[in-house]
Each structure stands twice: as C-alpha cells, then as structure tokens.
Structure 1
Amino acid sequence: MGSRRKRTKSKIEVIKENSDYLRAPLAEEVGNDSSHFGKEAIQVLKFHGTYQQDDRDLREGRDRHYIFMIRGRLPGGKMTPDQYLAIDKIADDYADQTLRVTTRQAFQLHGVIKDELKKTLQEINNSLITTLGACGDIVRNVMASPAPDIDGRQARVQAFADDLSDILLPASKAYHEVWLNGDKVYSGKEEVTDSEPLYGHSYLPRKFKVGIALPKDNSIDIYTQDIGLVALFDDDNEIEGFNVIVGGGMGMNHRKEDTFPRLGDDLGYVPREKVVDVVKKIIEIQRDHGDRKNRKQARMKYLIHKWGLEKFENELTERLGYELEPFRELPDFELDLYLGWNRQSDGNWFLGLSIENGRIKDDGALQLKSALRKVVKEYGTGVRLTPNHNVILTDIAEDDKESIEHIFDDHGVLLDDELSNAIKYSMACPALPTCGLAITESERALPDIIRDLDEVLHDLGLEDEKLSVRMTGCPNGCSRPYVADIGFVGRSLDKYTIFIGGDPSGTRLNRKYKDLVERENLVEEVTPLLEHFSKNRINGESFGDFWNRVDVEETELVSA
C-alpha cells in the first residue's frame, strides 16, 4: 500500500483557491430553499462579513437551528446618526432585536435567517456601511482611537484609518454581484476588480488585524494587533509618521503548547508617505510565507516567532528597498475608556456610555436600545463604537447635556459615575449559544460573576481599583483576556482557566494561575489573590503589577 500523500495545504486553502475570488459555491446557494449553506460555502461566506451559526438553545434533538451573524466594517467604530438608526431598525426587522458592539469597534447582528440574509445585507449597504472586510482571511476592521477630535490628533488618525481600511479591502467584485445585484453601493474609495493585487487568489493564511493608536492612548490594545501603528505628530498636530509594531495576536489552544498569545514587537519608524507601502509589504510577507497547512499556526505571530524578528525585518527591507528608521521613544501607554462627559475640539461634548458586555438591547427596566435610538434621533449625535465594546455619542451641544441625561435616566441607563469600576472594566465575548467556537458561557455568565466580585472588592476596600476582568467562552481570546488583570478563559463546559497579572494598558501578558475551575468557584478562587494584594501591595500598584512582581508560588496561596 502506497504512502499517503503529504498535505501541502489545508482544506480551507483549497476552498479559497476554488472560490473564483469569493464567488463559488456561495453564489449558487444564496437563493436555494435550504435553511443553511454547505461546508464550502460557509467558508467563503465569512469573507462577506457573515458567519453561519447554530443556536444551541433552540436545537431540537440533532436538528440544528441555523441563524446568521452579520458583522459591519466600521474603521475606528465611526457611524453617522443615520447609519446608527438604520442598523438599529435592521436589528428589529431581521435580527434578534439587539446590537452587539465588538472589541474591534464593529457591530454584529445576530439571529438573521437565510431567507432574509440578502435583503439584510442590501439594507446595510444602503446605509453606506459594508460588511466586506469584517471577517475572513483578510485585513479585518481597522481600529483607531474611538474618541472624536479632542486636540486635533484624533480626527487625523480617524481619517487615516478610513483611507487605510479602503486601501486594504478585497478588490473582488463577488460581494457586489452576490448581494447587491452587481451594484456598487458602498461609497468608499476601493477599486472593484476581478483580481486581488494585494491578497492573491488564496487571500491570507488567516485573519489579519490592524490598529492605529496615539501616543499614551492604548484603548485599542496596539500590541495585540498583527500590525500596530502608533501615529506621531509634528508641532502642528499633523501626522509625521508612525512607529510600527508587528506580530501580536491573542488566540491559542489549551491542548496545543505550540499555540499561544503573543504581544507584538517594536519594528521601526516610517514617515507617513511610506506607511501604506510598509503595511502592504508586511501583509505580502504573511501572504507568501504564512503557514497554509496548519491553520492553528497560520497567524503572522507564529511566522515571526519561528523566523525571529531579524529575519522578518530583513525580508521586509528586501521588499521595500530601504530600511525602516529606528523605533521612536514613546510615553507609557494607558487605557482610557472615554466614559462620561468630555469636551471636543469644536466646543461640543461627547458622552461615553458603558455597555455591559457590548449588548445593546431592551431588557426589563433597562431600555438601553430605545434610549440610544431616542437620543440619536432627537439630537443627531454621531456614534462611535469603542474597543472596550462601549458607545460614545458625539457632537452634543452644551444646552442638550441635561435633557440627554434625563432620557437615559428615564430608560434605566446608568451613566459612568453610577457604575462600579468592576463593571466598567469588564469584557466578555458572546460565546454560547450562538458562537460555533464556544465551549462554555461568557456573556451570559459574566454579569453575575462580576457583581459577586464587586462585593468582594468593596469588602476589601478595593472598589476604586481599575481592575480589568475579561472572560471568553473559548481560548481564542476575542475579549483580549490575556492582557487583563484577571482573565477567565473557557476550558470545557462550565469550567475555566484563570489567568492573572496582565496589564490593562495592553503591554504585558498575564499567566496561568489555575485550570479547570468551575464557574461557580471563579470568584472564590480569586478572592485570596485580592486579599493578598490588598495587604501587601506597595506604592499603590495595580493588581496586575503586583502579581507580575510577586510569584504566587512563593506565597502561602496554593495554585493548581
């Protein structure tokens, strides 16, 4: 019997190659009578901004309950009032009447059925928002500081994020042909062609994430991006150039030691006029050398880990024809949630609202979705979605502040100074019942956990601590748990791995503390850590800084 042929590429790579630039077999299945797409079509569907899901709460025996999640592409999380109101209505008409703010500053609609998928995508595009570039093995939503203009720099970074996002969009006409009847509705600057000059016929080996930060402001977790750009400014607050960071990423697999979260490396500095060329060349290196056999090793972080930064840098220099300048010194990064009232550069105000776990909905006394709709409609506020899945309402006149606060109060929505730090600094991914990767709860579990934890913090006099707690239903890390003070990462059904010692400013990974902890025991397990921290910290250090300095194995605390 002959030996088996060695696999040269994964099955998904073959699907991408055979897709005719993201058409087949998706185009043939869009209008059929099935409630769902086939295995090959759902892989292509992701590139169009949509995931096929199965609501495990609504399964009947072995029969799956097929629904679709749609994700928008919003560079820097920016939406006009009309766009927000349009998406709000689409959520009511076609989805589950909720909006989900993601940790990449996008929105997600959940619960759309296949018969209404095309109509839903058409209406999203009619609002001048596209879902192309929100998912798949391409550059995802380009992140940027969520704040509207404060001192002249934020607006310039947002404008650059808009331009870069358009430049990095797939060029295939497939999206417009399949969903928009061949019409180009989205008003961006992208060219629509029959080839992919940047991505090639197989696109990238895995998803690719780009974010743009300002000095000190690391609200986007710059070191967790495949490419992080830190904008540097001249004396007139014009962008002079960028520090470039490469090789970050959160995902891992509990059972595979060769998978791990990784923070990016400082690569160098590039003047503004050259930065697009540099970004494209970095993407091309990943396109040409990323692992196409094993998707668990396909992110660019693993390429840099295997090559080493020096080899990666040499490859980039060869492609560019010049070397990057040395990485420029930066001030320490901080996490700013931009909550509460803040002044804009034009004299107006913006209001940052904490959205617990990013879910915008009406639920009993908390009528958050209705309140946001009323304020945006009546006052014409712009909307920004933040990397900590919150919402910022912009362009508010001084005279309207009080009446807007009354609207939120009437709808049971608490403002920044009415919420605990534990709630404000927590994040969770959607997880069960809809995410196909979830192995346990996250969004539905964290509210009770965080309130129990908040009681402990108050008892210890730690209620003013800015303690970041992030939870995921699987180890892929969508809520970026591996840079949090405390990370609860789904391990198996109702069991989690606890990580401690990260830095919410996003510049340090945490480490594993205990494994296979039952959900009901999570707060109990971290309480001794909080007690030890409260008694022994120095100089007002944070929880993460303390447990980065102190070896838990050398204390009386016992770890698994």
Structure 2
Amino acid sequence: MSTTKTTQAAAPAVEVDRSRDLSQPLEKLAPEESLKFHSDYLAGTIATDLVDEITRAVDENNNKLMKFHGIYQQDDRDLRDERRQQKLEPYFTFMLRGRLPGGVCTPEQWLKIDELGRLHGNDQFRLTTRQTFQFHYLDRNALREVMIGLRDVGLDGKAACGDVARTVMSGVHPGLSKLHKQVYEQARIASDHVIHKTSAYEEVWFGEKPATPRGDDEEPFYGKQYMPRKFKIGFAVPPSNDIDIYSQDLGFVAIASRGKLKGFNVVIGGGMGRTDRAPETYPRLGDVIGFIEVDQLVPTLDAVMGVQRDYGDRVTRSHARFKYTIDDKGLPFIKGEIERRLGFALAPAKRFRFDSNGDQLGWTTGDDGLEHFTLFIESGRIIDRGERRLLTGLRAIAQAGLCVFRLTPNQSVILSDVAPEDRPKVDALLAEHGIDNVPTKGRSALRLNSMACVAMPTCGLAMAEAERYLPDLITKIEGLLETHGLTEEPITIRMTGCPNGCARPYIAEIALTGRAPGKYNLYLGAGFHGQRLNKMVRENVGEDVILEVLDETLGAYAKDRQDGERFGDFVIRAGFVAEVTEGRFFND
C-alpha cells in the first residue's frame, strides 16, 4: 500500500436525496420494510404484547422490532419435540444482547451483568464475537427488569440487533495501551453517533412517553425504514486483526506514528453471512479504499452508511447487505459516491501489517506500566462448572475493584488496568476459584484459536450443534495434532450451527458450518489473520469424514510445510483447496 500522505480538511457530508428509500411502493419491498415504516419508529405494539397472559411469546412483527432493542425471541430446542407431543406451544424464552462499544466494562457494570445472569439467565451469561455480552433463557416477564438493571449502570440493548449499525468493535490488545485507548475513544464516538435515536426504547421499557408524538425528525439519519440490513463497524489496531476487520461492513485500520493516532485506513464491504444452496449469497472480504484523518471519522461514517442506506437492496433481504451493494454497483462507483458525499477525495491508504487475529493470553505489561490478564473462555460462556467457577471468580474480582473488564472479539475477557501491586490479589482470586493463571497450560494452540456460535439449544436458526460440540471435536482433533507433532502450532478453527457466519467461520483456517444434526460443511484454507476466505472441501459430512480429512491434511502439513508456513497457506499450495480471491467466487 502507498505510504504517500495526503492531508485533507474535514468537510461536512453533503445533503443527500433520501427519496430512494421509497422509490418503489412499500408493497413491492420486503415485508420488513413495511413493518419498519409503520412501526412508529420501532415501538410497534411491544408494550401490549409484554403483558399478554395467554402465551409466553410475542407477535412475530413485534419479535422483529424487538431486535432493534437488542432482543431475540427463542425457544428451547431441547424441549421442542416433547412439548409438541404434549400439544404445548414451544418453551419460548428470550435472548438479550447489550451494547458495549469496544467491549469495555466497569466493575460496577460487570457486577450488574453477573447479577442479572444469576437472577434471570439460568446462572450464566455469554461473551459474544462482537465484544459484548448476552443473556439467554430470559422469561418475557423479566425483560423490563433486565433493561432497567442495565440502565442503572449506564448500559442498554439499543442497536445490538436489527437493521441498524450494530455494537462497534475495537482492538483490545493491552500491550499498546496508549494507542488502544485513543482508538477506543474513537470507537465510542462512532457508537454514540450511529445509534438510532427513537424514543420508543425508553417508552417501551421504562414507560417514558415522549412529550410530543414521534414525527419525521425522530430519526434524522435512518428515517422510517432504517438500514436495508444490519451494518457492522469495527476498529483494528495493527499488527493484531483481532476484530477481523475484513469481515466488517465498515472498518477503520488505525494508522499511528510514535504511538499517536494519525488516522485510519477505510475498509468497506465485508460480511460473513450466506445461505446453503443459494450460490448468489456468499461471504466477502472488505476492500481498503483510502485513508482519513481522525477528525474525518464522523463524516465518513455518515457518507458510507448513507450510501448503503440509499442504494442497498430493500426488495430481497438475502441480498441487502452492503457487500452485495458494492458488487452490484462496482467498487469505483461506491467509492466515488462516498467521496461525493464527503466533499473530498480519500487520501491513498497507508501501509500496515497484520500478523494474527487471536488474543495474547496470560499476563502482559502495558506501556503505561499497568498489568493486563487475558483469560481464555472457551466459546465465551461465563458459568460455574465443577471446580472452574468462572462466574463466581470474576464476580469476586469485580467486587474487589481490581480491574477494568475488556471483552475480546474472540470471546475471552481481559482483566485490564491492574496496578502491579494488585496482580498477586488477582492471581489469588483466580486460584481460589479454580481458574488457572496460565491459560495456555494443558490446551492446544488449536483450542486457544477456536470460536463457536451458540447454536443449540436456543438459536432458532441452528441446524446443528456448535458451542456444545466444538470442545469435544477439538479433543479428538488434538489426538491428530499430537500424532503429527502439531500441538503447539497455532491454527484457527471456528464452528457455527448454520451458514449465517456469526463466529466468522469463513475466515478460519478450519471451519465447520451446520447442515443437519451431526452434519457440517467443512472448509479449509483461510488466512491465519483473516486476510483470505476459505473453501469448502466436504459438504454435509459427519465427524468421521471430518477427522479423516483433517488427518490427511494435517499429516501432509507436518511433513511438507515450509518454514513459517501457516496451515491455511499450505493447503492451498499443496492443492487440497483452491485459493478464493473474491467472495463472488466462493461458491465456484
């Protein structure tokens, strides 16, 4: 990439004709467009539904609107058949996801999350791949209490789901803490800027009725129809690509000089979701289109999101993400339209380098002299299991006020900003609760570079297990790794219960996406730090075939790899899979 620096003065985004939103009659658009338009800015009839005593569920339209408030209706898949036989409705519960820009969480907030998880979330909560937390198993009658509890500590569920900009991610590696704090501040600014403004959230959950009816100025950016689909934003700090910047609709790669943030390279058009047997859907990696100064961040947010708001497909939901808008219109057109709205041309992109997308586990010392401990949490589940009492141990650390909690994009947590004299206290509390302060001890590098989505039993889209199955599968793969002398070799592996890609599987060196109970598509060949897509090598296969393929490829890798060659690079060079250079060719 070019290292030529072009300084541009920040300019306000130009006025844009919003009429494209309604360029076709609502009845010709996807049903969700009409629903949003007539929803009274996301209020719907949610408040009425919440007190319906006939069912545990909510109306399907309100279920869709509640996603904008951070809530998904789910049912316990483990009980579905039994309840069907008993002629009972599914056992409906709810998942609530919080908004947590950059994954930063104070001890007070952690204690509230812990309290709500114990009271309403089946004595647990979960860390997600977007650096936030979510509760499962919530009863409908508990939703308001949880929302109020979150508000008491400055948290909310706004935009955690729905057709809006989702919770904003930010690189968290503590070893470069001064720079990361600068980038986090920009991520927080971005999150506050792109959040939807409707008063419906406060009215539904807290009974705070607006002084006047919601009018045309309620959502000055989004309008009545919001975005065509979800829109994901993230900030990466090289050399770590922990947020998987190329999977974001809009990404910002931090460019610094001597520890001071100078600006960002802008990345657009990433996205993971696809549908099996629908070759017109595919994952896509983002394109780097230029560089902006720090003070150009907010106008760039408006310009890029505005292009997708106005040009995104509102007829076909499966074709509505920004990645398809770019491929349909062409990258030169999209970049030109972004620059037109900005009122200036983007500067050439600056040089940067990524070398990993995982977490640096264990203790590290930041450049501010503070200590930081990154704790590996398999699949992000915060729960007490046997002697390893994660839920209780982390609560004890929060009660002692020894750290700030930082959630990582890899579903782990950093106990950050620990004073050097307090490090022994943290170690003692970890040990007291059966939590090893050497996360790499007894775990293969493959396991430490693994991620899984929730899948069964709560996700309605899941066709196969993920979180509950991947640890056991990795144990069997570890036997192969030991046979081939690869136990310490870092290899990324990710599993999802369906093809939607919530754990970003299509940029893992080994990936499995669910097709049916016990059956998965197997993919190989992505880049180690998320810079290349993988390729399917087996379709709809079970564990025996998965282990057979991995035994063959891992064995060849152990025997024939070059110095420093990653597994994903090797399987391409050795001819096991073809290299995927663009998302449009993913299904070829």
TM over 0.5: yes
For residue 356 of structure 1, the aligned residue among 357, 375, 378 is 378
For residue 385 of structure 1, the aligned residue among 379, 387, 407 is 407
Task: Give the AA of the match of 1:268.
Answer: G
Offset at residue 7 of structure 1 (A): 6.0
Contact 1:379–1:396 (CA under 8 A) maintained in structure 2: no
CA distance in 1 between counterparts of 2:491 and 2:498 reads 22
Q: Which residue of 1 aligns with 2:184?
A: 158
CA distance in 2 between counterparts of 1:265 and 1:271 reads 18
CA distance in 2 between counterparts of 1:58 and 1:367 reads 27
Offset at residue 338 of structure 1 (A): 2.5
Q: Which residue of 1 aligns with 2:205?
A: 179
Offset at residue 553 of structure 1 (A): 6.7
CA distance in 1 between counterparts of 2:100 and 2:241 reads 19
Q: Does 1:207 align with 2:230?
A: yes
Greater mean alpha carbon deviation, residues 517-526 or residues 89-98: 517-526
Q: Does 1:461 align with 2:479?
A: no
Q: Does 1:36 align with 2:57?
A: yes
Q: Describe the shift of the 1:211–1:384 C-alpha distance in structure 2 as closer, same or farther (beyond 3 A).
A: same
Matches within 5 A, 1:254-403: 254-403=276-425
Q: Describe the shift of the 1:183–1:159 C-alpha distance in structure 2 as closer, same or farther (beyond 3 A).
A: farther
CA distance in 2 between counterparts of 1:171 and 1:335 reads 33
Task: Give the AA of the match of 1:452.
Answer: K
For residue 106 of structure 2, the aligned residue among 80, 97, 107 is 80
Matches within 5 A, 1:111-126: 111-126=137-152
Identity among equivalent pairs (%): 39
Q: Which residue of 1 aligns with 2:4?
A: none
Structure 2 residue ranges without an equivalent (≥5): 1-24, 579-588
Q: Does 1:538 align with 2:562?
A: yes
Contact 1:35–1:66 (CA under 8 A) maintained in structure 2: yes
Q: Number of residues paired by the alignment?
A: 543
CA distance in 2 between counterparts of 1:398 and 1:208 reads 40
Q: Describe the shift of the 1:279–1:44 C-alpha distance in structure 2 as closer, same or farther (beyond 3 A).
A: same
CA distance in 2 between counterparts of 1:81 and 1:193 reads 40
Q: Which residue of 2 aligns with 1:45?
A: 66
Greater mean alpha carbon deviation, residues 267-276 or residues 216-225: 267-276
Offset at residue 492 of structure 1 (A): 1.9
Q: Does 1:406 align with 2:415?
A: no
Q: Is the partner of 2:264 in helix, strand or coil? A: strand
Task: Give the AA of the match of 1:140.
Answer: R
Matches within 5 A, 1:499-538: 499-538=523-562
CA distance in 1 between counterparts of 2:192 and 2:401 reads 30
Q: Which residue of 2 aligns with 1:196?
A: 219
Q: Which residue of 2 aligns with 1:478?
A: 502
Task: Give the AA of the match of 1:171.
Answer: K
Task: Give the AA of the match of 1:506.
Answer: G
CA distance in 2 between counterparts of 1:228 and 1:417 reads 30
Offset at residue 215 of structure 1 (A): 2.4
CA distance in 1 between counterparts of 2:26 and 2:301 reads 33
Task: Give the AA of the match of 2:68.
Answer: F
Offset at residue 30 of structure 1 (A): 2.4
| Residues 344-402 of structure 1: per-residue CA shift (max 9 Å, x gap) | 23322010000001101011222111111112212431101100000100122323323
Q: Describe the shift of the 1:193–1:404 C-alpha distance in structure 2 as closer, same or farther (beyond 3 A).
A: farther
Offset at residue 90 of structure 1 (A): 0.5
CA distance in 2 between counterparts of 1:345 and 1:530 reads 38
Contact 1:173–1:194 (CA under 8 A) maintained in structure 2: no
Contact 1:499–1:512 (CA under 8 A) maintained in structure 2: yes
Offset at residue 307 of structure 1 (A): 1.2
Q: Describe the shift of the 1:105–1:437 C-alpha distance in structure 2 as closer, same or farther (beyond 3 A).
A: same
For residue 248 of structure 1, the aligned residue among 238, 251, 270 is 270
Contact 2:373–2:416 (CA under 8 A) maintained in structure 1: yes
Contact 2:26–2:34 (CA under 8 A) maintained in structure 1: no
Offset at residue 405 of structure 1 (A): 2.3
When the two chains are superposed, the root-mean-square deviation of aligned CA atoms in Å is 2.0
For residue 426 of structure 1, the aligned residue among 444, 450, 463 is 450
| Residues 78-130 of structure 1: per-residue CA shift (max 9 Å, x gap) | 00001001100110111111111000001010111011111111111111111
CA distance in 2 between counterparts of 1:421 and 1:403 reads 28
Matches within 5 A, 1:540-555: 540-552=564-576
CA distance in 1 between counterparts of 2:334 and 2:217 reads 31
Greater relative contact order, per chain length (Cα 8 Å cut-off, separation 6+): 2
Task: Give the AA of the match of 2:294.
Answer: R
Q: Which residue of 2 aligns with 1:187?
A: none
Q: Is the partner of 1:52 in helix, strand or coil? A: strand
For residue 222 of structure 1, the aligned residue among 242, 245, 249 is 245
Contact 2:402–2:426 (CA under 8 A) maintained in structure 1: no
- TM-score, normalised on structure 2? 0.89
Q: Is the partner of 2:313 in helix, strand or coil? A: coil
Structure 1 residue ranges without an equivalent (≥5): 185-191, 555-560
Q: Which residue of 2 aligns with 1:10?
A: 30
Contact 1:75–1:143 (CA under 8 A) maintained in structure 2: yes
Q: Is the partner of 2:400 in helix, strand or coil? A: helix
Q: Describe the shift of the 1:6–1:96 C-alpha distance in structure 2 as closer, same or farther (beyond 3 A).
A: closer
For residue 493 of structure 1, the aligned residue among 492, 500, 517 is 517
For residue 194 of structure 2, the aligned residue among 168, 187, 193 is 168
| Residues 247-287 of structure 1: per-residue CA shift (max 9 Å, x gap) | 00000011100000100011111112122111111101111
CA distance in 2 between counterparts of 1:490 and 1:528 reads 22
Task: Give the AA of the match of 1:383.
Answer: F
Offset at residue 323 of structure 1 (A): 1.3
Contact 2:26–2:33 (CA under 8 A) maintained in structure 1: no
